[in-house]
Each structure stands twice: as structure tokens, then as C-alpha cells.
Amino acid sequence: MELNDASNALATLGHPGRLSVFRLLMRFAPHGVRPTEIASALGLKPNTLSHHLAGLVASGLVGVTRQGRSLYYAVDLGTAEALIGYLALDVGRARPDLLSPLCAARRTGPGDGAPFNVLFICSRNSARSIMAEALLRDLGQGRFRAHSAGTRPTAAPNPLALDVLTHQGHDIAGLQAKHVSGFQRPGAAAMDFVFTVCDLSAAEDCPPWQGHPMMGHWGVSDPAGATGDRAQKAQAFARTYGALRRRIMAFVALPFERLSRISLQSRVDSIGTENDIGKRV
């Protein structure tokens, strides 16, 4: 990245409001987010958000696309990579003492025989993340330790989610709603992968994870929002289960031992953009 481009990008991010918008979009990357969802997550007025987004787009840090009648804003990962590289390699002169937290080795394959720790997060930890936990536990063939949590967990999992899991042959014993803070306290097991499966949890600003796990956003529709009779609601839960199952089957089939961290992140992102069902909420 050239000096002028870097200076422009840094000046843009120097405003707290624009930096907050950029940080939120990074949590959704490579997905795009609609302005209404950004404004709701950050508590911004529409005209203020519009000003921030215009500045981010003008700097090249964010791009905008139209899907139907909606605009979606997404981080330009190429520009973000160039800016981080400029700070680390040019300004920082690649000093190992400054870069060690970024370069800390994380295994990308089960070479030591230990299973991967994987955490699925949604806001209530009542349906999507619970189903994902059960799916990975059973489809992972012992190669993964599956966990789930919520940013505002309910008292217990949704009965319709448990019904779907039972119907599909999963053991639901031990499945319970848990707060995400339990996985962030000192002494908690370090995660290798952390996936958000709803937009509300992805928009939450939570502390950095110890060990720098690989992050991914696999947002799917909230079946609890379905209307109609019990049969129609059950169909919504079954569709969500099917979407999660396809993604998790693709995930466990990845050749972890042959992929670099960059390649693995790309695969994880690709899985999150496939088989979307309905509107992400």
C-alpha cells in the first residue's frame, strides 16, 4: 500500500464512528450487511451512518453492492489486508516482538491427535447453535469437540429444536443454553474455531478470543420467528437444521492437514455463503 492510500485509510478509521462501523463489518466479513442492520446494532441515526459509510467507501475500505432493493456494505478484504500489511511490514519493520501476537502459530490440522475445539454462537443459544453443536458432535467422528453458547441465552433450548434433533437421531442429553462468557474466562479451553450462526451475535462486540481462533459467520434464519401452526413452525426448524447440516458436513470434510491458515479461512468463509435459506436475522 502506498503512503497516501495508507494515510487516507487511517484518517478514515481515525473517527470513532467510522471505526465502529468498520469493526462491525469485519465481524461479518466477507458477508455484506444492510444499513438498517448496522444502524440497529450500533445505535446510529440513518444520516450519521450514511456519512460514515460514504467515508469508508471513498477510502476503499468498504464496498457496496445491490441485491434486489437492498444495499449491502462489506469490507474490501484486499484493502484491509494491504493496510494491515503496511502497518506490520513497512511501519513496524516486521519486528517480531510487535508481531508475535499476530504470528502465534495455530495448528491447521489434527497432527497432534487432539480434536479441534469448535464453538457455535447465537443470541439465545436455543435453536441454531444448539443444533449446530449436536450436528458437529455426531458428524465430526471424534475429530471435534463441539460447544455452543449465547450472548443472551434462554433458560432452556427451544423444544422444537430438540424435537428435530431427536427425529434425526441425535442424542439431546446434556444440551443446554449457556452464556458465551463461560468460554472466555481464564482457564477456559482455547477454541480453534468460533462460528456465529445469527446476525445478532455477529454484531455483538465481545472481547478477543484467547489463542486467536479462526472466526466465521454462518448466519441462517431464526426458525423461532416462523409463524403458523405447530406443523409449519416445525418445518422452519427442519429447514434450518438442513442448512446447518450441509454446512457442517462441508466443514468436517475439509482437508485440514493440507490447508494453510489462509486457505482454511477462505474455505470457512465459502461455506458460510453457501446454502443460505431465507433472510438472515
pLDDT at position 274, please? 67
3-state class (DSSP) for residue 195: strand
Distance between CA atoms of residues 47 and 44, nearest Å? 8
Domain match, 127 and 68 both:
no
Last residue of a domain, one of 103, 135, 170: 103
Question: Which one-letter amino acid corresponds to residue 203?
Answer: A
Residue 279 lies in a domain: no
Mark out the alpha helices in 59-143 (DSSP H runs): 77-85, 96-103, 128-139
pLDDT at position 246, please? 95
Percent of all residues in the chain with a pLDDT value above 70, rounded to a whole number = 90
* Strand 193-196 with 144-150, pairing: unpaired
Full domain range(s) for residue 196: 116-273
Domain match, 63 and 168 both:
no
Domain match, 146 and 251 both:
yes
User: Is the pLDDT score of 37 beyond 70?
Assistant: yes
- For residue 233 the three cell numbers come to 413452525
User: Is the pLDDT score of 103 beyond 80?
Assistant: no
pLDDT at position 279, please? 41
- For residue 280 the three cell numbers come to 438472515
Residue 278 lies in a domain: no
User: Is the pLDDT score of 203 beyond 80?
Assistant: no
User: Is the pLDDT score of 277 beyond 50?
Assistant: no
pLDDT at position 178, please? 94
pLDDT at position 278, please? 41
pLDDT at position 101, please? 59
Domain match, 166 and 221 both:
yes
pLDDT at position 102, please? 59
Can you tell me which residue has the cell 454462537? 121
Number of domains in the chain: 2
Nearest Cα residue to 175 out of 194, 186, 188, 162 = 162
User: Is the pLDDT score of 51 beyond 90?
Assistant: yes
Domain match, 19 and 64 both:
yes
Residue 110 lies in a domain: no
Kindly report the pTM of this predicted structure. Answer: 0.79
Contact 128, 165 (CB under 8 A): no
